[in-house]
Amino acid sequence: MSKLAATNIVHFKNLNKDQLEAIYQISEHLNKSSATESLINDALDWAVEIVSAERGLFVKCVDGDKEFEIVAARNVNKENISDLSGFSSGILHKVITERKAQLFHDAQSDPQVSKFNSIQIQQIKSVIGVPIIQNDEPWGVILVDSVINRKSFTKENLIFLNFFANLVSLSLDKILNIEILLKEKLLLENELENLQPVPTMIGNSKVMQNLFKLIHKVAKTDATVLILGESGTGKDLVARAIHELSNRKSNPFLAQFCGSIPDNLLESELFGYKKGAFTGANSDKKGLLEVANNGTFFLDEIADISNPLQAKLLRVLENKEIIPLGDTQVRKINVRILAATNKELKKLVDEEKFREDLYYRLNVFPIKVPPLRDRGSDILLLANYFIKEISPEKINISSDAVKKIMDYDWPGNVRQLYNVIQRALILVDENKITSEHIIWDDDPKEAKFTGTLKEVEVRLLKERLNKYDGNRTLAAKSLGVSVRWVQLKIKEYELEQ
């Protein structure tokens, strides 16, 4: 039998019927506590109540048993006391060193404690201190006192409070152990998260490791995520990974490409329609947003959505509801929204091409997928990964090919790397990819600077005008020339659409 249990039995025999009843209630209550803080506060309230004390203090031992920290305190009005100086630290030390409950009836004249300054200054008449034990070591002390001319505590009070303190010790032991385990669990989960890659994505570089961490973190929430990044960087993979790592993983993941699709078609895909809503609507059709209920919906290339559809999507994000075409009934949906674009969405907002309110609704948690050129040796890692994926044979990459791959800036990112490797594997003959096998046929940089001056000018101008959606001022700025120069060249080369 443990020391604590043995002490309890001795004290138990000395309790009367009312006290046993009270102990029963207290133990039930303490057993329900699930956090240290609430247990401590409840215990102190009970202790003050049980002996009708004027003040109560719950202290925790710091640095072994040398110092004390107040964890809860009550004066007569159950208000908090913030300072330990008004209490007898001498008595606290005595309870701790002797590890047993102490009662001083007449503190003023008791030779053991009257020497303590606080007893005199605070005019303390009666004090009871009981130790709280955890793992057979003193964890803290509950101290209750009464000042001069008030009630004096009795031996019975001491027995009862001691029994009570043992119950608190047992509950505290249980809760602290659970709290330690929970903390360890959180730490381990966090460690695992940091170690755990995103299963479908290759990358050891710092930027990719940071991306994986973000994906793991955000996946656990229901937050709307805006996935940004150049074309071919892996935005689709990120969206899928967020779903796969989320609590919604056993529910549907649906994606809709929103770029260059006629508005009415996109709308009926997303929201569905009622029979007769338009010519050809021969039966009711559920929208994809509704089909994805309880799952995740990925709006790919969100920047291309028309203004009226943007307004409808805003409603989905704000109220989680949809109205199918031709219907009057609002339908509630529970869908987590992910969106992606390779455009600068904020810029489109500034140019009033994208609704600002929708932008802020989508931009709750932005994730930027880094371009391949910023991923260092991941380029080679990915190249070898794709070789293994495509070719049944073992194929190496020569050092000159490695250099060529590493020196390139990959405007088409991972998708382009995949294509280049695929091409190289068709051309390779001796199980070794050399620099001649690495061909960027769609390399805009190399192509840009071949041909006559006129051809180069036309290519560059077209590219910049496309990039800035025909905005001549921005195209001129990016080329370092005047708007007038751009206008003249457009006219000269007949580039007007």
Ligand X SMILES: Nc1ncnc2c1ncn2[C@@H]1O[C@H](COP(=O)(O)OP(=O)(O)OP(=O)(O)O)[C@@H](O)[C@H]1O
Is the CB of 239 or the CB of 433 nearer to ligand X? 239
Question: Shortest Cβ distance from residue 337 to Mg ion (Å)?
Answer: 16
Site string for ligand X, 325-344 (x = CB under 6 A): -----------------x--
Is the CB of 157 or the CB of 413 nearer to Mg ion? 413
How far from the centroid of its chain's Cα atoms is residue 108's Cα?
57
Dihedral sign, CA of 314, 320, 326, 329? negative
Residue 415 binds ligand X (CB under 6 A)? yes
One residue of 19, 27, 154, 231 binding ligand X per CB under 6 A: 231
Q: Is 345 exposed, middle or buried (0-12, 13-18, 19+ CB in 10 A)?
A: buried
> In angstroms, rounded to a whole number, what is the distance separating the alpha carbons of residues 259 and 255?
12
Is the CB of 235 or the CB of 437 nearer to Mg ion? 235
405 binds, among Mg ion, ligand X, none (CB under 5 to 8 A by kind): none
Q: Which residues ranging from 222 to 241 are in contact with Mg ion (CB under 5 A)?
A: 235-236
201 binds, among ligand X, Mg ion, none (CB under 5 to 8 A by kind): ligand X
44 binds, among Mg ion, ligand X, none (CB under 5 to 8 A by kind): none
231 binds, among ligand X, Mg ion, none (CB under 5 to 8 A by kind): ligand X
> In angstroms, rounded to a whole number, what is the distance separating the alpha carbons of residues 38 and 18?
25
Work out whether strand 124-134 and strand 102-104 pair parallel, antiparallel, or are unpaired.
antiparallel
Question: Shortest Cβ distance from residue 202 to ligand X (Å)?
Answer: 4
Are the CB atoms for 84 and 71 separated by under 8 Å?
Answer: no
With H, G, I as helix, E, B as strand and everything else as coil, classify residue 429.
Answer: coil
> In angstroms, rounded to a whole number, what is the distance separating the alpha carbons of residues 108 and 124?
7
Q: Which residue is nearest to ligand X (CB)?
A: 234
- Count the Cβ atoms, other than its own, within 10 Å of residue 408: 18
Is the CB of 184 or the CB of 389 nearer to ligand X? 389
Stretch that binds ligand X, among 92-100, 229-237, 439-447, 476-484 (CB under 6 A): 229-237
Q: Which residues ranging from 385 to 414 are in contact with ligand X (CB under 6 A)?
A: 414
> In angstroms, rounded to a whole number, what is the distance separating the alpha carbons of residues 114 and 126?
11
The three-point CA angle 369-373-379 to 5° equals 95
Question: Shortest Cβ distance from residue 197 to ligand X (Å)?
Answer: 10
202 binds, among Mg ion, ligand X, none (CB under 5 to 8 A by kind): ligand X
Residue 253, φ and ψ in degrees, nearest 5: -115, 115
Residue 201 binds ligand X (CB under 6 A)? yes
Closest CA to 325 of 380, 271, 364, 249: 271
Is the CB of 116 or the CB of 418 nearer to ligand X? 418
Torsion, CA 167, CA 171, CA 176, CA 182, rounded to 10: 170
One residue of 129, 131, 140, 229 binding ligand X per CB under 6 A: 229
Question: Shortest Cβ distance from residue 230 to ligand X (Å)?
Answer: 7
Is the CB of 6 or the CB of 426 nearer to ligand X? 426
Is the CB of 96 or the CB of 238 nearer to ligand X? 238
Residue 418 binds ligand X (CB under 6 A)? yes
- Who contacts 137 (Cβ-Cβ below 8 Å, separation ≥6)? none
> How many binding residues for Mg ion (CB under 5 A)?
2
371 binds, among Mg ion, ligand X, none (CB under 5 to 8 A by kind): none
Q: Which residue is nearest to Mg ion (CB)?
A: 236
Is the CB of 138 or the CB of 232 nearer to ligand X? 232
> How many binding residues for ligand X (CB under 6 A)?
15
One residue of 49, 236, 244, 463 binding ligand X per CB under 6 A: 236
> In angstroms, rounded to a whole number, what is the distance separating the alpha carbons of residues 270 and 256?
8
One residue of 159, 237, 367, 421 binding ligand X per CB under 6 A: 237
> In angstroms, rounded to a whole number, what is the distance separating the alpha carbons of residues 102 and 130?
6
Here the contacts of 19-28 (C-beta below 8 Å, separation 24 or greater) are 19/160, 22/50, 22/160, 23/160, 23/163, 23/164, 23/167, 26/164, 26/167, 27/167
One residue of 22, 70, 147, 202 binding ligand X per CB under 6 A: 202
> In angstroms, rounded to a whole number, what is the distance separating the alpha carbons of residues 417 and 405?
9
Strand-pairing partners, residue 129, are: 102, 143
Stretch that binds ligand X, among 5-13, 21-29, 197-205, 325-333 (CB under 6 A): 197-205
Is the CB of 53 or the CB of 379 nearer to ligand X? 379
> In angstroms, rounded to a whole number, what is the distance separating the alpha carbons of residues 132 and 119?
22
412 binds, among Mg ion, ligand X, none (CB under 5 to 8 A by kind): none
Contact set with Mg ion (CB under 5 A)? 235-236
Contact set with ligand X (CB under 6 A)? 201-203, 229, 231-237, 342, 414-415, 418
